[in-house]
Structure 1
Amino acid sequence: MFSKEEVVLITKGRYAGIKAVIIEDLEEKDGRMVVTIVGLEKIPKPVTEDMTEMQKSRQKYIKAFIKKMNVRHLIATRYTMENVFDKVAVRDISDISEKTEMRKDVEKLFRTAYQNNPTHWIFKKQKV
């Protein structure tokens, strides 16, 4: 049901209501199915012409997160982000330094994906 590069909605925890992308397939851990996801903690906002350069850079800011999550707390969607996260080397996220390096790589990939297709569903605010 959950496959790589699929966009999901998180239903529980700190990131509830936020969209994320699966970057690592299912694995069983202590009797539960777990996937590694990356998502946007802060989505870019629209930029207008009358803004200063500082305001524009703040509006375009993207902040990502990486998390291992139980599939019970995810809702599958019909959307995918194909060929975006192929370059991400999934590392051990229990090591903080590796996790921060991976997060920086993911933020760069999200930034390029936003520049290529700013109207993609993952970059829009979730309406509840």
Structure 2
Amino acid sequence: MGGFMKSGRICILTSGRFAGKKAIIVSQHETRANRAFPHAVVAGIERYPKRVTRRMGKKRIARKSHIKPFVKAVNLSHLLPTRYVVKDFDLDGINDEILKDKEQKVEAKKTLRKVFEKKYLNPTSAEDKGENTKFFFKKLRF
């Protein structure tokens, strides 16, 4: 089922607390070693940044660019993959072991927030012109 769901793929969660939120697959586990189902560890955005205009000052832009991330293990059948793949997010420190300890999970979310906000404010990269990151940071409208 998850042959094309590799790390870096942007997906949409279809059930649970974060249903309708976008996330990036960090790692995927087809085997049932840790859990009773094939799953993927995802890092996504719980609260999206607000709209920023040219008239706003730096302080207001910083306040509106705040992102609240989440880290979660999700059943592969509850993920809707998109065509977008990101390569330049630094999500190496996130794995199954972090999800077991609450303090490590909180620290991981803090580092994720810094990574996401940095990428949101400077989206352009040489290969994708920032299109994938633009899609990731916009709220899903449906």
Q: Superposed, which structure 2 residues align to 1:61-80 within 5 Å?
A: 61-80=66-85
TM-score of the superposed pair, with normalisation by structure 2: 0.79
SS at match of 1:77: strand
Say whether residues 1:56 and 2:61 are aligned partners. Answer: yes
Say whether residues 1:97 and 2:100 are aligned partners. Answer: no
Q: Is the 8 A contact 1:5 1:85 kept in 2?
A: no
- Measure the CA separation in 2 of the matches of 1:112 and 1:65: 16
Aligned to 1:108: 114
Q: Is the 8 A contact 1:5 1:81 kept in 2?
A: yes
- In structure 1, runs of 5+ residues without a counterpart are none
Structure having the larger proportion of residues in strand: 1
Number of equivalences: 128
Q: Superposed, which structure 2 residues align to 1:1-128 within 5 Å?
A: 1-29=4-32, 30-51=35-56, 55-90=60-95, 91-117=97-123, 120-128=134-142
- Code of the aligned partner of 1:125: K
SS at match of 1:3: coil
TM-score of the superposed pair, with normalisation by structure 1: 0.87
SS at match of 1:121: helix
- Code of the aligned partner of 2:23: A
Give % identity.
30
- Measure the CA separation in 1 of the matches of 2:79 and 2:91: 22
Deviations 1:34-92 (A, max 9, x none): 11000011111122344465543331111100000001100011101112135434342
Query: Greater shift after overlay, 38-47 or 67-76?
Result: 38-47
